């Protein structure tokens, strides 16, 4: 079965492929988009139509599509050593990558535990925290705090860390210990701190302390925070937030996990988002951009202190994943980091991020645009029914607007991005880090046309 024509592919996709987080019925009367190739910040479908990849696939394609150096690195590694596990063995690509990541990571985060995905990284960090505290004589610490509406993955443990009730209910009971704290959505800050971002910052950080005290400090293992929270539409941290959270974590002996599955590898103009905001976490979880998607890889980078109890006697971290730190993925990640250096990818983000922001800010003149927020190459545009009151759409309107119109209309107009209503309705943008002003302008023009039309449909 070769399935070479678009029609054959379409029919087979409808019959055999199960898309993720996708209503399958959405394609009863329409085609499943089939993307066949990519070049730079653009991808092409099976009919040859071009799209600007405004979401880097899924926050993944940092250096853009079609980079043959990474394909060649994969091919070379697969020819030399396609697979060997990290269970009791090492292989050069994983060793080199671990060393390079340790060099790039802040503070004394020097030890790398590889996984294959972000969910596994989040889950691994929780397992490490639990076993670490047992070895350190604090066996009661198992709970993890994370923020409202934050997404941290889909495996059972990662889902327990996730703050999105709507995607959890069907899978309960989940592992116990997930506790929610407020996020840093200043646009919808509670009234008593809504006029002062510094007060808001103190309040949001102190809510973490209050939660630790409520739960009992001896029962809390870790706090999971993204440098900029994705779900809900890009909530950057208010000034001083992470410094205060760091102090709180230190005060109660709680580990700070910086979930950088999206925010690492240049998304915010730095190798790690924690670097941008000037804090040193205990654990960084990463995935996605580490390989720019040319092969799957994830992992966690941990402080020296966290491996300490595992370095003597019979102590063993009782955790492992067959394909973690896969030789091909590790080789691809090394080649990806070479491109970062050679092409000055971080420099491009830093030089152009103000332009990206200014271009998206132009959309504020549209009646449907309530807020434009983010940092680096990572933005959310919140859609509202009334700009003055910030009234949002009810479930029905949101369904009609986002699923019924915007998602298709933006794609049809040639822009890959995400219309998301897991919190308030937002459009998410996270383009490849090679984008420049011409691509921002293209995004703005498409968004302007489609959002203008959307307003007429409300
Ligand atoms: C912050 C964060 N953590 C974890 C994950 C889970 O990663 P994966 O889909 O690779 O399991 C994601 C995925 O989008 C994420 O954004």
Averaged pLDDT for residues 44-72: 98
Please say if the pLDDT value at position 1 is more than 80: no
pLDDT above 90 as % of the chain: 95
Token readout for 272 is: 């790690």
Q: In this structure, are residues 103 and 276 in contact, taking their beta carbons and an 8 Å threshold?
A: no
pLDDT score at 272? 98
Whole-angstrom distance, CA of residue 96 vs CA of residue 114: 13
Please state the φ and ψ torsions of residue 333, each to the nearest 5 degrees: -60, -40
Atom of ligand 1 nearest to the CA of 298: 10
pLDDT score at 403? 83
Mutate to test the pocket of ligand 1, among 147, 153, 164, 232 (most ligand atoms within 8 A of CB): 153
pLDDT tens digits, one per residue of 341-379: 999 999 999 999 999 999 999 999 999 999 999 999 999
b/e code 21-34 from CB counts within 10 Å (16+ = b)? eeeeeeeeeeeebe
pLDDT tens digits, one per residue of 74-119: 999 999 999 999 999 999 999 999 999 999 999 999 999 999 999 9
pLDDT score at 420? 86
Atom of ligand 1 nearest to the CA of 259: 1
pLDDT tens digits, one per residue of 191-225: 999 999 999 999 999 999 999 999 999 999 999 99
b/e code 246-284 from CB counts within 10 Å (16+ = b)? bebbeebebbbbbbbbbbbbbbbbbbbbbbbbebbbbbb
Whole-angstrom distance, CA of residue 41 vs CA of residue 64: 5
pLDDT score at 225? 99
Whole-angstrom distance, CA of residue 209 vs CA of residue 271: 29
Q: In this structure, are residues 98 and 133 in contact, taking their beta carbons and an 8 Å threshold?
A: no
Tell which residue, 146, 226, 228, has the closest CA to residue 186.
Answer: 228
Averaged pLDDT for residues 420-439: 94
Cα(325) to centroid(ligand 1), Å: 17
Please state the φ and ψ torsions of residue 9, each to the nearest 5 degrees: -60, -45
Q: Residue 429 forms beta bridges with which residues?
A: 379
For residue 81, the 8-state DSSP code is -
Cα(179) to centroid(ligand 1), Å: 19
Question: With left for phi above 0 and alpha for psi between -120 and 50, is residue 334 left, alpha or beta?
Answer: alpha
Cα(312) to centroid(ligand 1), Å: 33
Among 192-201, 246-255, 386-395, which is the least confidently predicted range? 386-395
Whole-angstrom distance, CA of residue 295 vs CA of residue 342: 20
CB 122 less than 6 A from any atom of ligand 1: yes
Please state the φ and ψ torsions of residue 217, each to the nearest 5 degrees: -55, -30
Whole-angstrom distance, CA of residue 122 vs CA of residue 94: 20
Cα(237) to centroid(ligand 1), Å: 19
pLDDT score at 279? 98
Atom of ligand 1 nearest to the CA of 231: 16
3-state secondary structure of 328: helix
Token readout for 382 is: 């919140």
Nearest CA to ligand 1 atom 7: 118
Per the listing, tokens 């063995």 go with 89
3-state secondary structure of 405: helix
First-residue to last-residue Cα distance in the chain? 46
Cα(288) to centroid(ligand 1), Å: 8
pLDDT score at 20? 97
Average pLDDT score, the chain: 97
Q: Which residue blocks in 325-406 are alpha helix, DSSP H?
A: 327-342, 345-361, 395-398
Token readout for 50 is: 């071009």
């Amino acid at each position: 079965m070769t399935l070479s024509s678009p029609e054959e592919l379409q029919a087979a996709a409808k019959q055999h492929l199960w898309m993720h987080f996708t209503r399958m019925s959405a394609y009863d009367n329409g085609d499943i988009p089939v993307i066949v190739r990519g070049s730079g910040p653009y991808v092409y479908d099976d009919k040859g139509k071009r799209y600007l990849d405004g979401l880097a696939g899924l926050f993944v394609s940092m250096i853009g599509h079609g980079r043959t150096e990474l394909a060649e690195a994969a091919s070379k590694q697969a020819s030399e050593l396609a697979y060997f596990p990290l269970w009791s063995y090492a292989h050069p690509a994983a060793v080199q990558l671990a060393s390079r990541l340790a060099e790039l990571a802040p503070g004394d985060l020097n030890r790398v535990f590889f996984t294959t995905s972000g969910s596994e990284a989040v889950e691994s960090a929780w397992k490490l925290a639990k076993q670490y505290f047992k070895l350190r004589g604090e066996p009661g610490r198992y709970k993890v705090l994370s923020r409202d509406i934050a997404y941290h993955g889909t495996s059972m443990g990662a889902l327990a860390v996730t703050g999105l009730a709507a995607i959890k209910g069907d899978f309960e009971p989940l592992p116990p210990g997930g506790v929610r704290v407020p996020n840093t959505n200043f646009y919808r800050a509670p009234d008593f701190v809504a006029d002062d971002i510094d007060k808001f910052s103190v309040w949001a950080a102190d809510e973490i302390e209050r939660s630790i005290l409520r739960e009992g400090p001896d029962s809390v293992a870790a706090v999971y925070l993204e440098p900029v929270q994705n779900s809900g539409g890009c909530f950057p941290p208010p000034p001083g937030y992470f410094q205060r959270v760091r102090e709180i974590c230190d005060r109660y002996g709680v580990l700070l996990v910086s979930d950088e599955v999206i925010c690492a590898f240049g998304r915010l103009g730095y190798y790690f988002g924690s670097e941008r905001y000037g804090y040193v976490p205990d654990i960084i979880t990463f995935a996605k951009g580490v390989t720019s998607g040319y092969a799957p890889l994830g992992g966690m980078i941990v402080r020296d202190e966290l491996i300490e109890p595992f370095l003597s006697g019979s102590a063993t971290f009782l955790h492992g994943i067959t394909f973690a730190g896969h030789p091909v993925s590790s080789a691809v990640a090394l080649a990806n980091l070479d491109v970062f250096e050679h092409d000055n990818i971080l420099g491009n983000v830093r030089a152009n991020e103000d332009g990206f922001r200014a271009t998206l800010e132009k959309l504020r003149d549209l009646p449907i645009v309530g807020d434009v927020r983010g940092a680096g190459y990572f933005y959310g545009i919140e859609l509202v029914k009334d700009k003055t009151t910030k009234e949002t759409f009810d479930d029905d309107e949101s369904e009609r607007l986002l699923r019924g119109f915007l998602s298709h209309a933006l794609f049809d107009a040639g822009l890959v991005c995400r219309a998301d209503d897991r919190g308030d309705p937002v459009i998410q943008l996270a383009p490849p880090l090679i984008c420049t002003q011409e691509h921002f302008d293209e995004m703005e023009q498409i968004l302007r046309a489609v959002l203008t039309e959307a307003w007429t449909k409300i």
